[in-house]
Amino acid sequence: MSGSPYASSLGRLKVQFPSFLTRDALLALAAAPEVGEVTKLLEPTIYGNDIIQNASLYQGAPLLEVAVNRTLVRRNRLSLESTPFAGKAVVSAYLRRWDIENIELILSAKAQGRPVTEAEAFLVSSREIPAGIFAGTMTLDDFRMLLQQPTLEAIANALVRFGYGSVLLPLLEVYERSHDIFPLLTALDREYYRNLSESSRFFQGDEWTVRNVIQSEIDVRNVLLLLKGKDGALAAEEIAARFVEGGTISKASGLDLYSARTLAELITNLEPKFPSLPEGNPGYAENRSLTGYEVALSSERAVRELKRLRTYPLSLSVIFTYLIHSELERIDLRRVIYGKLYGVPAEKIQSQLVIARLT
Q: What is the DSSP letter of 21?
A: P
Query: What is the pLDDT at residue 331?
Result: 93
For residue 320, the SS3 value is helix
For residue 122, the SS3 value is strand
Residue 104's nearest CA partner among 157, 168, 195 is 168
The answer to whether domain 1-83+323-359 and domain 84-195 are alike in fold is no
- Domain residue limits, the chain: 1-83+323-359, 84-195, 207-311
Buried-state track 10-32, b at ≥16 Cβ within 10 A, e below 16? bebbeebeeebbeeebbbbbbeb
Residue 129's nearest CA partner among 291, 334, 350, 290 is 334
CA–CA dist 285, 287 (Å, integer): 6
Q: Where are the beta strands (DSSP E) in the chain?
A: 118-119, 122-123
CA–CA dist 245, 92 (Å, integer): 21
- Provide the CA 101 distance to its chain's centre, in angstroms: 8
CA–CA dist 301, 305 (Å, integer): 6
Cα torsion 172, 178, 182, 186: sign: negative
CA–CA dist 305, 133 (Å, integer): 24
Other CB atoms within 10 Å distance of the CB of residue 145: 14
Query: What is the pLDDT at residue 51?
Result: 96
For residue 60, the SS3 value is helix
Residue 101's nearest CA partner among 73, 120, 62 is 73
- Provide the CA 54 distance to its chain's centre, in angstroms: 24
Tell me if 26 sits within 8 A of 332, measured CB to CB. yes
From residue 76, alpha-carbon distances to 48, 49, 91, 243, 299 in Å are 18, 18, 9, 28, 21
> Could you tell me which CATH class the domain 1-83+323-359 is placed in?
mainly alpha
Tell me if 319 sits within 8 A of 82, measured CB to CB. yes
CA–CA dist 40, 30 (Å, integer): 13
Average pLDDT for consecutive 10-residue bins of the chain (359 residues)? 77 94 96 96 97 92 90 91 90 91 85 59 40 60 83 93 92 92 94 92 74 95 97 95 95 97 96 96 93 94 92 89 95 94 94 86
Contacts of 170 (CB under 8 A, 6+ apart): none
HEC assignment per residue over 131-167: CCCCCCCCCHHHHHHHHCCCCHHHHHHHCHHHCCHHH
Looking at the chain, the number of H-run helices and the number of E-run strands are: 20, 2
CATH of the domain spanning 84-195: 1.20.1690.10
In sequence order, the β-bridge partners of residue 119 are: 122
**What does the DSSP assignment read for 213-233?**
HHHHHHHHHHHHHHHHHHHTT
The region, left, alpha or beta by phi > 0 then psi within -120 to 50, assigned to residue 234 is beta
CA–CA dist 233, 221 (Å, integer): 18
